[in-house]
């Protein structure tokens, strides 16, 4: 999500950033373009209007235009306003006597059932809670069955299905079971309903009155268009909601719904669904999203993700080596392993600054996750000496290695070439100074824009491209399949 | 939800579409109660179209069209509504085509694709009912072998419409299942085979590859099949619908669209932009969750209703 919007806004704001003096008319022109970009991203019109008028007002304020770097100031204002629009990130509220009832509501097909199971798993794993699931969807064929399968597959508690029971009684029975069996929370999944279907809206209101939920979460699809205004308003009015769960954030929607929901309902976005698997749900961090939209990359998420998977000492060791410009095939091997642990490559790429374009390219060239395994196999069939000193690897050794891993000499060559380009690049980057990627990731904040001491990954010296076709320079071998940006280990240190 | 079907389908459609357009109608009335069509008015006109998900480009085009003949003139809301209805109908007419079953195919294979939750399975149930009512022999294949209880869901539709459902366990190979279903449909002389697929986001290359594989395997069994590939679009979808049509069309030869959930307040306006850009036929619309809630897509009534005009 957000790539499209980030590309569009990036273009508009880049123009501004590069300019010296700015006139009021320049700002207004830029804001018109920002407006179109937001609308094309499906941000609700009323929200766009408020956004543009606030941002414009601040941007043409006297001190901005007279400042030394007016363009950057305007970019910062847009960033701040975006952050405002997204509101604060908040955890799911469990501060009440257990079992805490959580009610899931939303339109048909928005993703309630999957999200219910995901939240149950999240609360179980991340917050150590015992959670009971119950399906109140007596309408859609096999809906109750669906939740039961998800619960059983993931070892989550589920209320036994009683055919013919009405939603309100199911809800009461779930709370009873929750109390009797010592659950911390009970998640009530309801049938999808139209916000204008009075009968069903009053049914869900009755459920609410029967259990007094601590959280009523509106589940919304990130691909929703301008209708999100109507839906959110009606649910807020008729049922009352306490938070938003945004689903299908892993799609290529531009994320307007995310930007609108908070504004329209006044409720925080609490969780993001980022994949079909039950563990693919994340807490929501507005500042990171704002950074991501402005093409600054979600560096903080990346650091956390990396930290979860990379042992701190390893990372420290690696960072040191890299800083000195030493990098052998053992290091490449451990990077490959880390990348595999970190999961979906393209997901990671999207978090890096300036990588929107590369990510697109990756999904087009379709990097096969198998490639990582292949590369690993190649290195593993080398002798320790060869790994430390790849220069040893000549024709006959290549043949042996290829035979050892069941791949071709060409594959071995590809890997070696990629290693070459990476290590050249690492040496150069090492020289670029400690502030760069290898000094631990600098904390991203909009002020960085003004400082400009962040190495722009797209502007690395030419000639480092490893035959990557149309790829942005600096990512050796990606086009040839399966390279990766160097230096992931350097991310292991938190801030 | 209950399959009452008491109110005529036409009344239901109008009801649904009226809700879709009520906001546009009030909007138009607000802006154009006798007013000179100046730049401000045009901008507000464009904004209104945008709130119906028509998109910035189509909205700008319509507003330029409006300005051509009416700029600086006094206009009123009725005139504006008529203008929208006429222009939108013009755009939609070429794509409003019903899905015709070729009775010589035996079976006419229809593959149904789309993003998660767009309404594929429900639409298959509705199509099964439609064709069954026409006296055709209909079979369904539960090709969503991924999502929990997706197979059971389609089986319920099989019972409701009294049509056989070919199914395997969750986790089975969808392509192989489709292959076998064609086999069986041929052997038993079925007229129509509706193949369900798992919902997938179009930016996931590996899932789109899987879809291509299903098509390849279907074609292997019958080289003229699939005879139609329907993309099911949720009417609440905004501009992402463009990406859906584009990417699904690249993966599978999408032959037509079905737009669901038009019984809500979503305006489905993105269909207008899609018609302009891709020219794919729109075969039908979904206006509810019951088996009989599928309607032919009619350009004129869709356009008039979008503009808030009574038929
Ligand atoms: N109001 C309304 N609801 C609909 C319509 N079409 C489908 N639905 C509902 O939307 C929800 C999702 O529909 P499904 O048919 O399960 O969608 P799907 O595309 O098969 O979903 P996945 O297989 O999970 O990707 C269900 O609750 C349907 O009852 C429609 O035209 N109007
Ligand atoms: Mg389905």
Name the percent of chain B lying above pLDDT 90. 70
The neighbouring-strand residues paired with A245 are A219, A271
Angle value at C-alpha A243, between A241 and A244, nearest 5 degrees: 110
Are the beta carbons of A107 and B236 separated by less than 8 Å? yes
Residues B61 and B128 grouped into a single domain = no
Alpha-carbon gap, residue A1 to A274, rounded angstroms: 9
Tell me what the mean pLDDT of segment A53-68 comes to.
77
Please spell the DSSP secondary structure of A47-79, one letter per residue: HHHHHHHHHHHHHTSHHHHHSS-HHHHHHHHHH
Residue after which a domain boundary falls, among B45, B65, B95: B95
* pLDDT category of residue B70 using cuts at 50, 70 and 90: confident
- Cα(B119) to centroid(ligand 1), Å: 3
Determine the average pLDDT of the residues in B102-126. 96
Residue A406: what pLDDT?
A: 86
Q: The domain that contains B263 carries what CATH number? A: 3.40.50.300
Instruction: State the Cα–Cα distance between residues A452 and A218, nearest whole angstrom.
Output: 40
Distance A157 CA to ligand 2 centre (A): 25
B208 and B272 fall within a common domain: yes
Residue B100 in any domain: the answer is no
Residue of B nearest to A228 (CA): B236
**A100-294 shares its CATH topology with A299-470:** no
What backbone torsions phi and psi does residue A391 show, to the nearest 5 degrees? Answer: -60, -25
**Residue B163 token pair:** 């049509």
**A108 within ligand 1 shell (Cβ under 6 A):** yes
Position in ligand 1 atom list of the atom nearest CA B198: 23
**Share above pLDDT 90 across residues of chain A, in percent, rounded to a whole number:** 35
Same-domain check for residues B35 and B146? no
Residue B2 lies in a domain: no
Residues B40 and B115 placed together within one structural domain of the fold: no
Region A86-90: mean pLDDT is 81
Considering the entire predicted model, what is its pTM?
Answer: 0.74
Domain boundary among B70, B95, B120: B95
CATH number at residue B89: 1.20.120.140
pLDDT at A491 over 70: no
| Ligand 1 center–CA B301 separation, angstroms | 24
| Residue A486 vs residue A319, higher pLDDT | A319
Q: So what's the ipTM on this one?
A: 0.86
Average pLDDT over residues A164-183: 96
Is residue B306 domain-resident? no
How many Å lie between the alpha carbon of A345 and the closest alpha carbon of chain B?
12
Q: Give the pLDDT confidence of B144-161 residue by residue, as tens digits.
A: 999 999 999 999 999 999
Angstroms from A323 CA to nearest CA on chain B = 36
How high does pLDDT run on average in chain A?
76
Q: What per-residue confidence (pLDDT) applies to A330? A: 82
Minimal-distance CA residue of chain B relative to A141: B153
In this prediction, residue A475 carries a pLDDT of 32
Domain ranges of chain A: 3-86, 100-294, 299-470
Q: Which residue of A has its CA nearest to B170?
A: A149
* B223 found inside a domain: yes
Is the same domain home to B70 and B210? no
The 3-state DSSP class for residue A190 equals: coil
Q: How far apart are CA B21 and CA B121, in angstroms?
A: 27
Give per-residue pLDDT as tens, A335-360. Answer: 777 666 554 445 554 444 444 444 55
Quote the Cα angle for A58-A63-A65, to 5°.
80
pLDDT at A308: 54
Q: What is the pLDDT of residue A449?
A: 30
Range of lowest pLDDT (B17-26, B30-39, B180-189, B270-279): B17-26
Instruction: Return the CATH number of A100-294, one of 3.50.30.30, 1.20.1250.20, 1.10.1740.10, 3.40.50.300.
Output: 3.40.50.300
Q: Is B135 exposed, middle or buried (0-12, 13-18, 19+ CB in 10 A)?
A: exposed
A99 secondary structure, DSSP code: S
- Which CATH code for domain A3-86? 1.20.120.140
Say which range, A78-87, A184-193, B229-238, has the weakest mean pLDDT: A78-87
Q: Is the pLDDT of residue A188 over 60?
A: yes
Residue B31 has what pLDDT?
Answer: 59
Q: Per the structure block, which two tokens stand in for A474? A: 């600096």
The residue nearest atom 24 of ligand 1, judged by CA position, is B117
Give the domain-ending residue among B63, B95, B127: B95
Locate the ligand 1 atom nearest the alpha carbon of residue B288 and give its number. Answer: 32
Q: pLDDT tens digits for A419-442? A: 887 777 766 655 554 433 333 333
Does residue B286 line the site of ligand 1, with CB under 6 A? yes
> Pick from B78, B13, B266: which is nearest to A109 by CA?
B266
- Establish whether residue B304 lines the binding site of ligand 1, counting it when its CB lies within 6 angstroms of any ligand atom: no
A–B interface: beta-carbon pairs under 8 A: 144
Side-chain half-sphere exposure of B204, counting CA atoms within 13 A: 19
Cβ–Cβ below 8 Å for A221 and B234? yes
Q: Are residues B116 and B79 in the same domain?
A: no
Interval A170-197 mean pLDDT: 96
- pLDDT (tens digit per residue) in B227-284: 999 999 999 999 999 999 999 999 999 999 999 998 888 878 999 999 999 999 999 9
Least confident of A14-28, A107-121, B16-30, B138-152: B16-30
pLDDT in tens, A103-153: 999 999 999 999 999 999 999 999 999 999 999 999 999 999 999 999 999
What is the distance between the alpha carbons of residues B299 and A51, in angstroms, rounded to a whole number?
A: 36
- Between A461 and B180, name the one with better pLDDT: B180
Does B37 lie in the same domain as B127?
Answer: no
Tokens linked to A92? 């799911």
Domain-located, residue B102: no
Q: Which residues pair with A189 in a beta bridge?
A: A104, A135
Three-state DSSP class for A167? helix
**B74-75 and B35-36: which strand pairing?**
antiparallel
Between β-strands B282-286 and B294-296, what pairing exists: parallel, antiparallel or unpaired? antiparallel
pLDDT reported for residue A145: 94
Instruction: Specify whether B175 is located in the same domain as B123.
Output: yes
The pLDDT score that the predictor gives to residue A298 is: 43
In a domain, B308, yes or no: no
The H or E element spanning position A437 is none
pLDDT top residue among A138 and A289: A138
Q: Are residues B133 and B237 in the same domain?
A: yes
Q: How far is B118 from chain A (nearest CA, A)?
A: 6
* Least confident segment among A315-324, B40-49, B286-295, B296-305: A315-324
Quickly count: other Cβ atoms within 10 Å of residue A74's Cβ. Answer: 28
Q: Do B206 and A366 touch (CB under 8 A)?
A: yes
| pLDDT of residue A477 exceeding 90 | no
What's the CA gap between A228 and A312, in Å, rounded? 43
The two structure tokens encoding residue A225? 């268009």
Q: Poorest-confidence range of A2-11, B83-92, B203-212?
A: A2-11
Residue with token string 């059983």: A152
What residue numbers bound the domain in which B86 lies? 10-95
User: Strand A185-189 to strand A215-221: parallel, antiparallel, or no bridges (unpaired)?
Assistant: unpaired
pLDDT band at B2 (very low <50, low <70, confident <90, very high): very low
Q: How many domains does chain B have?
A: 2
Give start and end residues of each alpha helix (H) in chain B: 9-32, 39-51, 56-70, 77-92, 120-133, 150-161, 174-187, 205-221, 240-251, 270-278, 299-306
> Percentage of chain B with pLDDT > 70?
88
Are A251 and B201 within 8 A, CB to CB?
Answer: yes
CA distance B262 to A397: 65
Query: Which chain B residue is nearest to residue A153, measuring alpha carbons?
Result: B148
Q: What share of chain A is helix, strand, coil (3-state, %, to 5)?
A: 55, 10, 35
CATH of domain A299-470: 1.10.260.30
Residues 187-226 of B with CB under 8 A from A: 201-206, 209
Whole-angstrom Cα distance, residue A27 to residue A54?
13
Provide the total of helices (H) and of strands (E) in chain B, helices listed first.
11, 10
Residue B305 lies in a domain: no
Count of Cβ atoms closer than 10 Å to residue A17 Cβ: 18
**With contact defined as beta carbons under 8 Å apart, do A229 and A199 qualify?**
no
Measured distance CA(A222)–CA(A225) in Å, rounded: 9
CB A53 within 8 A of CB A28: no
Q: How far is A244 from B18, CA to CA, in rounded Å? A: 28
Q: Averaged over B204-215, what is the pLDDT?
A: 94
Q: Is the pLDDT of residue A495 over 80?
A: no
pLDDT at A292: 63
* Residue that has been written with the tokens 């009801």 in this structure: B15
Q: Which of B257, B310, B308 is nearest to B28 (CA)?
A: B308
Give the mean pLDDT of chain B: 88
Arithmetic mean of pLDDT, A224-232: 90
Instruction: Point out the least confidently predicted range of A145-159, A279-293, B219-233.
Output: A279-293
Question: Which among B250, B285, B236, B274 has a CA at the least distance from the CA of B99?
Answer: B285
C-alpha B100, offset from chain centre? 16
Pick from A213, A32, A219: nearest CA to A111:
A219
């Amino acid at each position: 999500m957000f790539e499209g919007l980030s590309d569009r806004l990036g273009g508009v704001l880049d123009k501004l950033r590069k300019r010296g003096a700015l006139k009021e008319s320049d700002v207004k022109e830029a804001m018109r373009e920002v407006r179109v970009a937001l609308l094309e991203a499906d941000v609700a019109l009323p929200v766009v209007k408020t956004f543009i008028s606030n941002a414009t007002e601040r941007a043409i304020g006297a001190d901005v235009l007279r400042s030394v770097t007016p363009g950057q100031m305007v970019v910062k204002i847009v960033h701040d306003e975006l952050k405002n629009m997204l509101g604060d990130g908040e955890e799911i509220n469990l501060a009440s006597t257990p079992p805490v009832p959580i009610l899931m509501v939303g339109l048909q097909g928005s993703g309630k059932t999957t999200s219910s199971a995901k939240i149950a798993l999240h609360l179980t794993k991340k917050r150590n809670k015992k959670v009971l699931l119950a399906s109140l969807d007596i309408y859609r064929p096999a809906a109750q069955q669906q939740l039961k399968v998800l619960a059983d597959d993931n070892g989550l508690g589920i209320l036994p299905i009683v055919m013919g029971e009405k939603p309100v009684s199911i809800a009461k029975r779930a709370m009873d079971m929750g109390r009797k069996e010592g659950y911390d929370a009970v998640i009530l999944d309801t049938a999808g309903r139209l916000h204008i279907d009075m009968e069903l809206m009053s049914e869900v209101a009755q459920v609410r009155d029967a259990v007094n939920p601590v959280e009523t979460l509106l589940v919304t699809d990130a691909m929703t268009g301008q209708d999100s205004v109507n839906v959110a308003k009606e649910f807020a009015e008729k049922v009352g909601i306490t938070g938003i769960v945004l689903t299908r954030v892993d799609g290529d929607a531009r994320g307007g719904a995310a930007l609108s929901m908070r504004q329209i309902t006044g409720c925080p976005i609490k969780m993001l669904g980022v994949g079909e698997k039950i563990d693919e749900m994340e807490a929501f961090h507005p500042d990171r999203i704002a950074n991501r939209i402005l093409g600054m990359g979600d560096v903080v998420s990346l650091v956390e993700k990396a930290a979860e998977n990379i042992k701190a000492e390893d990372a420290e060791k690696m960072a040191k080596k890299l800083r000195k410009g030493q990098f052998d095939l053992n290091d490449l091997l451990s990077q490959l392993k880390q990348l595999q642990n970190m999961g979906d490559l393209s997901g990671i790429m999207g978090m890096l600054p300036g990588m929107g374009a590369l990510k697109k390219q990756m999904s087009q060239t379709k990097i096969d996750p198998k490639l990582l395994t292949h590369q690993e196999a190649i290195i593993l069939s080398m002798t320790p000496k060869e790994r430390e000193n790849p220069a040893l690897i000549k024709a006959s050794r290549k043949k042996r290695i290829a035979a050892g891993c069941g791949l071709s000499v060409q594959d071995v060559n590809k890997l070696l070439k990629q290693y070459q380009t990476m290590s050249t690049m690492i040496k150069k980057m090492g020289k670029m100074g400690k502030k760069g990627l290898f000094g631990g990731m600098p904390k991203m904040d909009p002020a960085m824009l003004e400082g400009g001491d962040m190495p722009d990954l797209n502007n690395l010296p030419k000639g480092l491209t490893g035959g990557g076709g149309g790829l942005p320079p600096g990512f050796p071998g990606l086009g040839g399949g399966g390279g990766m940006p160097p230096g992931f280990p350097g991310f292991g240190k938190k801030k | 939800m209950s399959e009452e079907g008491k109110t005529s389908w036409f009344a239901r459609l109008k009801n649904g579409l009226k809700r879709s357009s009520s906001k546009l109608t009030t909007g138009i009335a607000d802006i154009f109660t006798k007013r000179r069509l100046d730049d401000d008015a045009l901008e507000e006109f464009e904004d209104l179209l945008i709130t119906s998900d028509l998109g910035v480009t189509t909205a700008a085009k319509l507003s330029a069209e409006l300005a051509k003949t009416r700029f600086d003139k006094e206009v009123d809301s009725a005139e504006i509504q008529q203008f929208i209805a006429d222009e939108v109908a013009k755009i939609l007419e070429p794509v409003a085509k019903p899905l015709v079953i070729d009775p010589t195919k035996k079976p006419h294979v229809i593959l149904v694709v789309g993003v998660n939750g767009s309404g594929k399975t429900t639409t298959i149930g509705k199509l099964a009912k439609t064709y069954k009512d026409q006296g055709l022999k209909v079979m369904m294949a539960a090709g969503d072998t991924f999502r929990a209880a997706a197979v059971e869901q389609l089986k319920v539709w099989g019972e409701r419409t009294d049509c056989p459902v070919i199914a395997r366990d969750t986790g089975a190979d969808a392509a192989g299942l489709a292959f076998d279903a064609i086999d069986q449909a041929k052997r038993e002389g079925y007229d129509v085979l509706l193949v369900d697929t798992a919902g997938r986001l179009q930016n996931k290359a590996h899932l789109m590859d899987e879809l291509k594989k299903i098509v390849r395997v279907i074609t292997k069994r019958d080289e003229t099949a699939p005879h139609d590939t329907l993309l099911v679009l949720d009417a609440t979808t905004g501009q992402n619908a463009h990406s859906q049509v584009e990417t699904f069309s690249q993966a599978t030869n999408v032959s037509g669209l079905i737009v669901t959930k038009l019984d809500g307040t979503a305006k489905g306006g993105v269909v207008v932009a899609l018609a302009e850009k891709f020219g794919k036929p729109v075969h039908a619309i979904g206006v509810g969750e019951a088996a009989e809630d599928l309607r032919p897509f009619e350009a004129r009534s869709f356009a008039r209703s979008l503009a808030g005009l009574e038929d």
